[in-house]
C-alpha cells in the first residue's frame, strides 16, 4: 500500500463556488413547473375577489361543459377532509376551522373557492372564468387596530372582537423600573405587512398510484417531511403511503415554510380523477394567497436614567394575523417578545400581544419572522432615547450592551444568549466609516442646507431554530453519511435547502472531515422516501443545526472507517487523513475506496462491527444561537422631493464561524435587499373593503439590482458554543440589521427640522410632508 | 398569466393590416409591452391580434428638410440611439432612454406607446414640447394632425378604429437649444409619477423660447403655456413653475397624492429648466 | 350611459343593466343593477350603479343635484366609486382617473342628449 504526502487543503473557511450553480444558471435544474408526466392534468384555483362575503350559490355547469375539463370541485367536495393545520399553540388561542375550500363564506381576497381541472393549463384557466359564484359582499376590516376596536365588522362571526389571542410575558419588575426612571420615551412603531415575493411562486404536482394506494406529492416547499406528516393527516392517508419530493425551489424566505390548502387539494384531485395533476400559482395569486410577513403595530416605552442607562422596557404588539392561522401565524409575534431587549441589559420587561383577525391573507414567517420587528422597534427606541438625552447613538449603545464577561447571558425574556462581543462589530463599523469625520461632514452639510443622515443599528437575533421543547414540531436535524463501495460519499440531509447553498457547505465540511475531494461528494435532500426524517430549512438553521448533525454523523463514520482501516492494515491505531487510513509505524495506508469495499464485501469484519459504512445522526441543539452585528447607513434626503439616496452601507455581522464567505456574502446582500425593501419601498396594502390594491409587481416595489447601494460587508467572528462548528447562522441577519439602520439614518438627517420618527416604508411623499410640516405628521 | 384565446395574424404589408383592421374586435400588436400584460391579466381580450412587426418600412428613422420622420414601429431603443435623433432631436432620445428598462425599450415602440396613451407614459411630454405631428393611415386615406390634437384624454386618442399610426414627425430642434426630460419614476412600475419635458432658447440670460410639457401628473399630458409665458416675460424659474398645473387635475394613488404630484411636477419642471438652460449652447 | 347594452326595469326605480366599458385596450362587460334612490324630483336623486364582470366589480354611488340656470340646468354630481377584483389589484393608480373620465363621458353624452352643460366635475374618491 502506497503512502501519500499531499498537503491537506481545508475547504471550510474558503469561498469556493457553489456546486448547485452550474445546473441553476444553465437551466438544467428541475423546478416544479418543469415536471411533466404522461396524462398530467392541470388545476386552476378559483378564488374570492371579495375580502368578505357570503357564498349563496356556485354553478359549475358552464365550466364542466368546456371541452377538456375533467372536473370541478367546490367546498362541499372537500368538507370532510381535515383543516389546514396550525402548529402554533398559545393559551386560549381561537382557531377558526380552516377548510381546504371556502364553505359558505369567504374571508379574504384570494380565498380558494373551487378548483377546476382540465387536460391542459389553458383550458383550465378558461374554465376557471366560467365557474359562477354568487357572492353577497359583507363589510370587511383590514386594519388590525380597527379590527379590535369596538364596532368593527366581525371577521369570524363567532368572535366579534376579532381577537384570536392575548399574550402576556414579563421579567423583573417593569413597573418599578418605570417609577425610578429619570426619563421615559414612548413611540408607536409599525412594521408594515409585506409580501415575500419569492421568484418562483408556489406549485404542486400530485401523482396517485391507485394500485399501491401511494401518493407522490411534489411541492415547492421548505419542509418536505413536516408537510408529508401534516398533509397525510389532512387527507386521512397513512403517512407511509405519502412521499413528498421537493424539486429545485426558487426562493422561499419563509413563505414556503408552511402547509397550504393547495397541497392537500391537488392530492385530493389526483385521487379523484386518477391522473397526475399540476397546479402552479400565478404571481397575482401568489400575492393574494401566499402568506404575508410582518404586520405589527407596536407601542414601545423605554425607561432610563439621565446618564443613558436603560432600566425598563414595555411593549404592546398588535399583530395582524389575517383571516386564518397558517402553520406558525400566532407564534411569530412571540419571537418578537423574546428578542425585544436586543443586545441590551434590560432586567425589567413587560410585553403584551393582541392577535387580531383581519380580512386579509394570513401572516406567517418571512425572513426574520418576528425578529426584524423587534429589532426595528428597540433600535428606533434607543435612537429616540439618545436624541432625548442628547447622547450620541453609538455611545448610548456601548453603555447598555451586555458585556463580554456576562455570557452566556440570561435575558429577562427567558433566553440564554450563547456568546457575543457586541462592541466589536460596532467599533469596527464606526472605524470603517470614520465616524467622527462623518459627523463633521454632517455639520458642514447642514450648514449648506443639505440633509445628510448617519444611522446605525446594533442588532441581535435568535436563530438556528431550535431546542425542541421550544419548537412546535421538533427543532433537531438529521444527517446520514454513506460511503459507497467505490469510496464515493453521499450525504443525506434532513434540512431542505432552497437556495442557501448547503450542497456546497455540507460538501466542504464532509470533504475536510473525510479528506476526500469535493467532487466525490453528493449532497441529497428533499425526498421523504430517500432522506431520513428532517425538520427543514428556515430560521437560519441549515448549517447551524443541519451542519451540526452532519458533523456528528461524520465523527461516527470516521470511527468506523478507522476500525476497518486498522483491520486492513493489521495494526492497532491509524490516523485518518487525505481520504486514507495511515499506519504511522509502518507507513502503510489504505484508501477510503479500499476500506469501503472491505466494509461491504465483508470477507473480514473488525470485532463487534457490522458491515457497511453508513452513519445517521439526529442532533438536538441545546440552545438557539444568537448572531449580532452593526449596520451603519449614510443617507442624503432630497429636501424638495423627499427622495432618499443611500450614500454608504456598511455591515459588520458576527455570525460565528464562517464556512464559506461567498455564501455568507450572498446571504448578507440578499438580507439587506429585503430589509431595504421594507424600509423604503414595500407595503402590502389592502383597502378597507378587502381589496389587495398592491396586487402585482407593477404596484409593489421590491428591491432591484439597479436600486441597491453598494454593500460593504465584513465580519467579526465569535464562535457559538452551541454546536461543534461554531456557526450561528446568517440567513436572516442582514434583513434584521438593515431596516432600523436606514430609518435611523433618515430620522437623523431630519432631526434638526423637528422629525423624531417615521414609519416604514419611507416613501418620498411621507418624508417630504414631514419636512414641510416641521416633523409633525 | 394566460390570455383568453385569440387569433393571430402577421400581415406582410400595411395594406393587408389595414384591411384586417376594418372589421371586428381586432387589436394591433406593436411591441406588446402594454397590450400583452393586459391580455395576460385578462383585462384586455381582443378576438384577433394583428402583428405589425413583419411589415417592412414601418420603423425607419430619417431626417429630411428640417423634419425627423420616425416610423411608428421604431423601438424606444432605436430612438434612444439613432444618430439622427441624438443629433437633431436629443430631447426625444433622452426621453426614450428613461422608458421602463432595457427589455421594455428593446421591444416597445413609439407608435404603440402613443396609441395606448397611458397617462403615465413618457413620450407625450416630449412630443408636446417638440410640437410633433402624427401621421395616420387607413383604408379611407391618410391624415396628419398635431400630437396635441391626437392625445385627447387618459387612454383616449383621436385614432379611429380603422386607423394605424404610420409615422411621427418632429421638427429638428435648434442647434443651440437646451433640453431636458426630468422624470420621477414609480419604484415598482417605472412609469412616470411625473415627467417634465423642457426646451429652451436663451440669449444674454433671457429666455427667448420655452416649451414645458408635463406627463404623469394628470389624466393626460399637457403643455403648460402659463409657465411658458412667464418664462418669456423674464420670470425666475421658481416664479414660473409656481403656476404649473393650474387648471389641471392631478392624479392620486397609493404612491403619491394629488398634492404631492403637483408639487413634484413643479420641482421637476424647475430642475428640468435649470438643466436645459445650462445646456443652451 | 356610454357602453350600456341593455337596461331593463326590474322594479320601482331599479333596472338590470348590461354594460360594456371600453378604455383603449381594456374592454370589460359588466352585468349589474342601476338604482335610483332618495328621489327628490326635480332637484336631486341618488344614483347607485353596481356591476360585476370578469375584470372585476364596481359600485358607484353618487348624488345628482339639478339646479336651474339661465340657459338650461346645471347638474352637480358628487360620488364615490369602489372597485374590486383584477382592476383593483393591478390598476389602483388609474382608478380615480378612469372613474372621473367615465363619469365625464356619461355627462358628455347626457349633454348631447339634453343640451345640459356638465359643471363641477366630481372629486370621485376611489377606495
B274: exposed, middle or buried (Cβ count in 10 Å: 0-12, 13-18, 19+)? middle
For residue B26, name the pLDDT band (cuts at 50, 70, 90).
confident
Percent of chain B topping pLDDT 70: 99
Mind giving me the DSSP string for B256-268? --HHHHHHHHHHH
The predicted pLDDT at position C107 comes to 77
Q: Which of A297, A337, A342 is nearest to A314 (CA)?
A: A337
What confidence tens digit (pLDDT) does each residue in A636-652 have?
999 999 999 999 999 99
A401-410, B32-41, B259-268, C58-67: segment of lowest average pLDDT = C58-67
Mean pLDDT of chain A: 96
Distance CA A720, CA A734 (A): 18
- Residue linked to cell 407601542: A299
Interface test mutation site (partner B, options A197, A698, A769, max chain B beta carbons within 10 A): A698
Any chain C CB within 8 A of the CB of A687? yes
Tell me the Cα Rg of chain C: 15
Any chain B CB within 8 A of the CB of C127? no
Bridge partners of residue C63, in order along the sequence? C46, C78
For residue C25, name the pLDDT band (cuts at 50, 70, 90).
low
Query: Which grid cell sits at B54?
Result: 413583419
A681: exposed, middle or buried (Cβ count in 10 Å: 0-12, 13-18, 19+)? buried
Query: Which grid cell sits at A455?
Result: 444611522
User: Which class in CATH covers the domain with range B61-171?
Assistant: alpha beta
ipTM of the complex model:
0.95
Report pTM.
Answer: 0.95
| pLDDT surpasses 80 at C125 | no
**How many CA atoms, within 13 angstroms, populate the side-chain half-sphere of residue B164?**
26
| Record: contact B155-C27, CB cut-off 8 A | no
**Cross-chain CB nearest to C25 (options B35, B189, B191):** B35
Query: Which grid cell sits at B1?
Result: 398569466
| pLDDT surpasses 90 at A663 | yes
Interacting residues of B122 by C-beta distance below 8 A, sequence separation 6+:
B95, B96, B98, B99, B181, B183, B192, B195, B215
pLDDT average, residue stretch A559-567:
95
The predicted pLDDT at position B22 comes to 80
Helix or strand holding residue A660 (H, E): none
What confidence tens digit (pLDDT) does each residue in B64-76 have?
999 999 999 999 9
Is the peptide bond preceding residue A761 cis, with omega within 30 degrees of 0? Answer: yes
Domain chopping of chain B, boundaries: 7-52, 61-171, 178-279
Q: Which residues of B touch C101 (CB under 8 A)?
A: 153-154, 156, 219
A114-123, A537-546, C30-39: segment of lowest average pLDDT = C30-39
User: Which class in CATH covers the domain with range A296-466+623-772?
Assistant: alpha beta
Angle at A627 between CA A623 and CA A630, to 5 degrees: 160
Distance CA B231, CA B273 (A): 10
Q: Of the CATH numbers 3.30.930.10, 3.30.365.10, 3.30.390.50, 3.90.740.10, which one belongs to the domain with range B178-279?
A: 3.30.390.50
Q: Which of A593, A683, A674 is nearest to A193 (CA)?
A: A683
pLDDT average, residue stretch B250-257:
95
| pLDDT surpasses 70 at A776 | no
| pLDDT surpasses 90 at C119 | no
| pLDDT surpasses 90 at A107 | yes
**Cross-chain CB nearest to B1 (options A282, A681, A765):** A282
Domain chopping of chain A, boundaries: 21-28+476-619, 32-138+201-249+256-289, 296-466+623-772
Coil, strand or helix at C87: helix
| pLDDT surpasses 80 at A465 | yes
| pLDDT surpasses 90 at C3 | no
The predicted pLDDT at position A8 comes to 56
pLDDT average, residue stretch A44-58:
98
Cβ pair A168, A351 in contact under 8 A: yes
For residue B175, name the pLDDT band (cuts at 50, 70, 90).
confident
Any chain C CB within 8 A of the CB of B117? yes
- Within 10 angstroms of residue A531's Cβ, the number of other Cβ atoms is 22
Distance CA A270, CA A64 (A): 17
C104: exposed, middle or buried (Cβ count in 10 Å: 0-12, 13-18, 19+)? middle
DSSP structure class, residue C124: P
Is the peptide bond preceding residue A408 cis, with omega within 30 degrees of 0? Answer: yes
Mean pLDDT of chain C: 79
For residue C123, name the pLDDT band (cuts at 50, 70, 90).
very low
Tell me the Cα Rg of chain A: 28
Query: Is 3.30.365.10 the CATH number for A21-28+476-619?
Result: yes
Comparing alpha-carbon positions, the chain A residue that sits nearest to C126 is A687
Distance CA A500, CA A505 (A): 9
| pLDDT surpasses 60 at B18 | yes
The predicted pLDDT at position C127 comes to 37
Q: Which of A633, A513, A519, A525 is nearest to A578 (CA)?
A: A513
The predicted pLDDT at position B24 comes to 64
| pLDDT surpasses 80 at C42 | no
For residue C116, name the pLDDT band (cuts at 50, 70, 90).
very low
**Cross-chain CB nearest to C96 (options B191, B251, B255):** B251
Comparing alpha-carbon positions, the chain C residue that sits nearest to A110 is C85
pLDDT average, residue stretch A525-547:
96
Cβ pair A724, A513 in contact under 8 A: no
| Shortest CA gap B217–chain A (Å) | 14
Helix or strand holding residue B76 (H, E): helix B76-81
Is the peptide bond preceding residue C42 cis, with omega within 30 degrees of 0? Answer: yes
Same fold, A21-28+476-619 and A32-138+201-249+256-289: no
The predicted pLDDT at position C115 comes to 54
Per-residue H/E/C for A683-698: CCCECCCCCECCCCCC
Any chain A CB within 8 A of the CB of C56? yes
For residue C21, name the pLDDT band (cuts at 50, 70, 90).
confident
Interface test mutation site (partner C, options A49, A134, A683, max chain C beta carbons within 10 A): A49
Per-residue H/E/C for A300-363: EEEEECCCCCEEEEEEEEEEEEECCCCCCHHHHHHHHHHCCCCCECCCEEEEEEEEEECCCCCE
Interface test mutation site (partner B, options C3, C25, C56, C86, max chain B beta carbons within 10 A): C25
The predicted pLDDT at position A775 comes to 64
Pairing between strand B7-9 and B26-29? unpaired
Q: Assign residue B166 a region: left if phi > 0, alpha if psi is -120 to 50, beta otherwise?
A: alpha
Comparing alpha-carbon positions, the chain C residue that sits nearest to A47 is C85
**Cross-chain CB nearest to C89 (options A50, A129, A284):** A284
Helix or strand holding residue B199 (H, E): strand B192-203
What confidence tens digit (pLDDT) does each residue in A308-338 have?
999 999 999 999 999 999 999 999 999 999 9
| Record: contact B43-C55, CB cut-off 8 A | yes
| Record: contact C89-A688, CB cut-off 8 A | no
The predicted pLDDT at position C41 comes to 79
| Shortest CA gap A406–chain B (Å) | 46
| Shortest CA gap B208–chain A (Å) | 28
What are chain B's partners, defined as 3 or more CB pairs within 8 angstroms? Answer: A, C
Angle at A256 between CA A253 and CA A260, to 5 degrees: 150
pLDDT average, residue stretch A102-113:
98
Distance CA A114, CA A268 (A): 13
Largest CA distance in chain C: 45
pLDDT average, residue stretch B178-193:
97
pLDDT average, residue stretch C88-106:
83
Q: Could you tell me the fold of the domain covering B7-52?
A: 3.30.43
Any chain C CB within 8 A of the CB of B47? no
The predicted pLDDT at position C96 comes to 82
Mean pLDDT of chain B: 95
Coil, strand or helix at B92: helix
Query: Which grid cell sits at A475?
Result: 427543532
User: Which class in CATH covers the domain with range A32-138+201-249+256-289?
Assistant: alpha beta
What are chain A's partners, defined as 3 or more CB pairs within 8 angstroms? Answer: B, C
Q: How far is CA B6 from CA A264, A648, A715, B19, B105, in A?
A: 34, 51, 56, 18, 26
| Record: contact A707-B187, CB cut-off 8 A | yes
pLDDT average, residue stretch A34-59:
98
Q: Which residues of A touch C86 (CB under 8 A)?
A: 49, 284
| pLDDT surpasses 90 at B77 | yes
Identify the residue with better confidence: A199 or A777.
A199
Angle at A624 between CA A375 and CA A196, to 5 degrees: 50
The predicted pLDDT at position C24 comes to 64
What confidence tens digit (pLDDT) does each residue in C47-82 have?
898 888 888 888 888 888 888 888 777 878 888 888
Interface test mutation site (partner B, options A116, A638, A640, max chain B beta carbons within 10 A): A640
pLDDT average, residue stretch A108-118:
98
Cβ pair A339, A376 in contact under 8 A: no
Any chain B CB within 8 A of the CB of C28? yes
The predicted pLDDT at position C114 comes to 65
Amino acid at each position: 500500500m502506497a503512502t501519500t504526502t499531499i498537503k491537506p487543503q481545508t475547504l471550510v473557511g474558503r469561498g469556493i463556488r457553489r456546486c448547485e450553480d452550474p445546473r441553476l444558471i444553465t437551466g438544467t435544474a428541475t423546478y416544479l413547473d418543469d415536471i411533466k408526466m404522461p396524462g398530467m392534468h392541470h388545476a386552476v384555483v378559483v378564488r374570492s375577489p371579495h375580502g368578505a362575503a357570503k357564498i349563496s350559490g356556485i354553478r359549475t355547469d358552464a365550466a364542466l361543459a368546456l371541452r377538456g375539463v375533467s372536473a370541478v370541485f367546490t367546498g362541499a367536495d372537500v368538507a370532510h377532509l381535515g383543516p389546514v393545520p396550525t402548529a402554533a399553540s398559545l393559551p386560549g388561542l381561537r382557531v377558526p376551522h380552516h377548510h381546504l375550500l371556502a364553505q359558505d363564506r369567504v374571508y379574504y381576497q384570494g380565498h380558494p373557492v373551487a378548483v377546476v381541472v382540465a387536460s391542459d393549463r389553458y383550458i383550465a384557466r378558461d374554465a376557471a372564468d366560467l365557474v359562477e359564484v354568487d357572492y353577497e359582499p359583507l363589510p370587511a376590516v383590514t386594519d388590525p387596530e380597527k379590527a379590535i376596536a369596538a364596532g368593527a365588522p366581525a371577521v369570524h362571526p363567532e368572535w366579534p372582537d376579532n381577537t384570536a389571542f392575548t399574550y402576556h410575558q414579563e421579567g423583573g419588575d417593569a413597573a418599578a423600573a418605570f417609577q425610578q426612571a429619570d426619563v421615559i420615551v414612548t413611540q408607536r412603531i409599525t412594521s408594515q405587512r409585506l409580501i415575500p415575493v419569492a421568484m418562483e411562486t408556489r406549485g404542486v404536482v400530485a401523482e396517485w398510484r391507485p394500485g399501491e394506494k401511494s401518493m407522490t406529492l411534489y411541492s415547492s416547499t421548505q419542509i418536505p417531511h413536516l408537510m408529508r406528516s401534516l398533509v397525510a393527516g389532512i387527507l386521512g392517508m397513512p403517512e407511509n403511503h405519502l412521499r413528498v419530493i421537493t424539486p429545485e425551489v426558487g426562493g422561499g424566505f419563509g413563505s414556503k415554510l408552511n402547509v397550504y390548502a393547495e397541497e392537500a387539494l391537488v392530492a385530493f384531485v389526483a385521487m379523484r380523477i386518477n391522473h397526475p395533476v399540476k397546479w402552479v400559482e400565478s404571481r397575482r395569486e401568489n400575492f393574494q394567497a401566499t402568506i404575508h410577513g410582518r404586520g405589527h403595530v407596536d407601542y414601545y416605552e423605554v425607561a432610563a436614567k439621565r446618564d443613558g442607562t436603560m432600566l425598563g422596557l414595555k411593549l404592546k404588539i398588535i399583530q395582524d394575523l389575517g383571516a386564518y392561522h397558517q402553520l406558525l401565524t400566532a407564534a411569530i409575534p412571540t419571537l418578537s417578545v423574546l428578542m425585544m431587549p436586543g443586545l441590551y441589559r434590560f432586567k425589567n420587561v413587560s410585553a403584551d400581544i393582541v392577535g387580531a383577525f383581519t380580512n386579509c391573507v394570513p401572516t406567517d414567517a418571512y425572513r426574520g419572522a418576528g425578529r426584524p420587528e423587534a429589532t426595528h422597534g428597540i433600535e428606533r427606541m434607543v435612537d429616540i432615547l439618545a436624541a432625548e438625552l442628547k447622547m450620541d447613538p453609538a455611545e448610548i449603545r456601548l453603555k447598555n450592551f451586555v458585556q463580554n464577561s456576562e455570557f452566556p447571558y440570561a435575558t429577562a425574556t427567558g433566553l440564554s444568549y450563547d456568546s457575543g462581543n457586541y462592541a466589536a462589530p460596532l467599533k469596527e463599523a464606526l472605524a470603517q466609516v470614520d465616524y467622527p469625520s462623518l459627523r463633521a461632514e454632517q455639520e458642514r452639510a447642514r450648514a449648506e442646507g443639505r440633509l445628510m443622515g448617519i444611522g446605525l443599528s446594533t442588532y441581535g437575533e435568535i436563530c438556528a431554530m431550535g431546542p425542541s421543547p421550544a419548537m412546535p414540531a421538533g427543532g433537531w436535524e438529521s444527517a446520514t453519511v454513506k460511503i459507497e463501495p467505490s469510496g464515493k460519499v453521499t450525504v443525506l440531509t434532513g434540512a431542505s435547502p432552497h437556495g442557501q447553498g448547503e450542497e456546497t457547505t455540507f460538501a466542504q465540511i464532509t470533504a475536510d472531515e473525510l479528506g476526500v475531494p469535493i467532487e466525490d461528494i453528493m449532497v441529497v435532500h428533499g425526498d421523504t422516501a430517500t432522506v431520513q426524517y428532517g425538520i427543514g430549512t428556515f430560521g437560519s438553521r441549515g448549517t447551524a443545526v443541519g451542519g451540526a448533525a452532519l458533523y456528528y454523523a461524520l465523527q461516527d463514520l470516521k470511527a468506523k472507517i478507522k476500525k476497518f482501516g486498522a483491520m486492513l492494515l493489521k495494526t492497532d491505531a491509524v490516523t485518518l487523513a487525505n481520504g486514507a487510513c495511515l499506519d504511522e509505524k509502518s507507513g502503510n495506508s489504505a484508501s477510503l475506496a479500499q476500506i469501503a469495499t472491505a466494509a461491504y464485501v465483508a470477507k473480514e469484519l473488525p470485532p463487534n462491527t457490522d458491515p457497511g459504512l453508513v452513519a445517521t445522526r439526529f442532533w438536538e441543539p441545546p440552545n438557539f444561537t444568537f448572531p449580532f452585528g452593526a449596520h451603519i447607513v449614510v443617507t442624503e434626503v432630497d429636501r424638495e422631493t423627499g427622495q432618499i439616496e443611500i450614500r454608504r452601507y456598511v455591515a459588520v455581522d458576527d455570525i460565528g464561524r464562517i464556512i464559506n464567505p461567498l455564501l455568507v456574502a450572498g446571504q448578507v446582500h440578499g438580507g439587506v435587499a429585503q430589509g431595504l425593501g421594507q424600509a423604503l419601498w414595500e407595503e402590502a396594502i389592502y383597502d378597507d373593503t378587502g381589496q389587495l390594491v398592491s396586487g402585482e409587481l407593477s404596484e409593489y416595489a421590491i428591491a432591484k439590482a439597479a436600486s441597491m447601494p453598494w454593500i460593504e460587508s465584513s465580519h467579526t467572528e465569535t464562535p457559538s458554543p452551541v454546536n461543534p462548528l461554531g456557526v450561528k447562522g446568517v440567513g436572516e441577519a442582514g434583513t434584521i440589521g438593515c431596516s432600523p439602520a436606514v430609518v435611523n439614518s433618515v430620522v437623523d438627517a431630519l432631526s434638526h427640522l423637528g422629525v423624531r420618527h417615521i414609519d416604514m416604508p419611507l416613501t418620498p411623499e411621507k418624508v417630504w410632508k414631514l419636512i414641510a410640516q416641521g416633523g409633525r405628521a | 398569466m394566460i390570455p383568453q384565446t385569440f387569433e393571430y395574424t402577421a400581415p406582410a404589408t400595411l395594406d393587408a393590416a389595414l384591411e384586417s383592421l376594418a372589421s371586428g374586435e381586432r387589436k394591433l400588436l406593436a411591441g406588446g409591452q402594454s397590450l400583452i400584460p393586459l391580455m395576460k391579466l385578462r383585462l384586455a381580450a381582443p378576438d384577433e391580434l394583428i402583428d405589425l412587426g413583419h411589415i417592412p418600412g414601418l420603423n425607419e428613422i430619417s431626417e429630411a428638410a428640417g423634419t425627423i420622420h420616425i416610423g411608428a414601429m421604431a423601438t424606444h431603443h432605436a430612438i434612444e440611439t439613432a444618430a439622427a435623433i441624438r443629433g437633431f432631436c436629443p430631447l426625444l432620445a433622452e426621453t426614450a432612454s428613461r422608458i421602463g428598462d432595457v427589455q421594455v425599450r428593446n421591444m416597445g415602440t413609439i407608435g404603440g406607446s402613443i396609441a395606448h396613451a397611458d397617462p403615465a407614459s413618457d413620450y407625450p411630454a416630449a412630443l408636446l414640447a417638440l410640437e410633433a405631428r402624427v401621421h395616420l393611415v387607413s383604408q379611407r386615406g391618410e391624415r396628419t394632425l398635431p400630437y396635441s390634437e391626437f392625445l385627447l384624454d387618459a387612454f383616449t386618442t383621436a385614432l379611429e378604429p380603422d386607423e394605424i399610426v404610420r409615422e411621427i414627425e418632429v421638427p429638428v430642434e435648434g442647434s443651440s437649444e437646451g433640453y431636458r426630460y426630468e422624470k420621477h419614476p414609480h419604484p415598482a412600475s417605472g412609469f412616470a409619477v411625473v415627467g417634465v419635458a423642457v426646451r429652451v432658447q436663451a440669449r444674454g440670460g433671457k429666455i427667448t423660447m420655452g416649451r414645458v410639457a408635463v406627463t404623469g401628473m394628470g389624466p393626460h399630458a399637457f403643455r403648460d403655456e402659463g409657465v411658458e409665458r412667464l418664462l418669456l416675460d423674464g420670470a425666475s424659474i421658481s416664479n414660473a413653475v409656481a403656476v404649473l398645473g393650474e387648471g389641471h387635475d392631478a392624479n392620486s394613488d397609493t404612491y403619491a397624492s394629488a398634492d404631492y404630484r403637483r408639487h413634484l411636477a413643479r420641482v421637476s419642471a424647475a430642475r428640468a429648466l435649470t438643466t436645459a438652460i445650462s445646456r443652451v449652447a | 350611459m356610454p357602453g350600456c347594452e341593455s337596461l331593463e326595469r326590474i322594479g320601482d326605480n331599479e333596472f338590470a343593466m348590461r354594460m360594456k366599458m371600453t378604455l383603449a385596450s381594456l374592454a370589460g362587460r359588466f352585468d349589474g343593477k342601476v338604482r335610483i334612490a332618495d328621489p327628490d324630483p326635480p332637484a336631486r336623486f341618488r344614483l347607485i350603479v353596481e356591476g360585476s364582470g370578469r375584470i372585476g366589480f364596481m359600485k358607484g354611488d353618487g348624488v345628482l343635484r339639478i339646479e336651474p340656470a339661465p340657459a338650461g340646468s346645471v347638474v352637480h354630481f358628487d360620488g364615490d366609486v369602489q372597485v374590486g377584483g383584477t382592476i383593483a389589484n393591478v390598476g389602483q393608480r388609474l382608478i380615480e382617473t378612469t372613474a372621473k373620465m367615465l363619469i365625464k363621458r356619461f355627462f358628455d353624452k347626457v349633454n348631447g342628449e339634453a343640451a345640459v352643460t356638465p359643471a363641477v366635475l366630481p372629486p370621485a374618491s376611489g377606495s
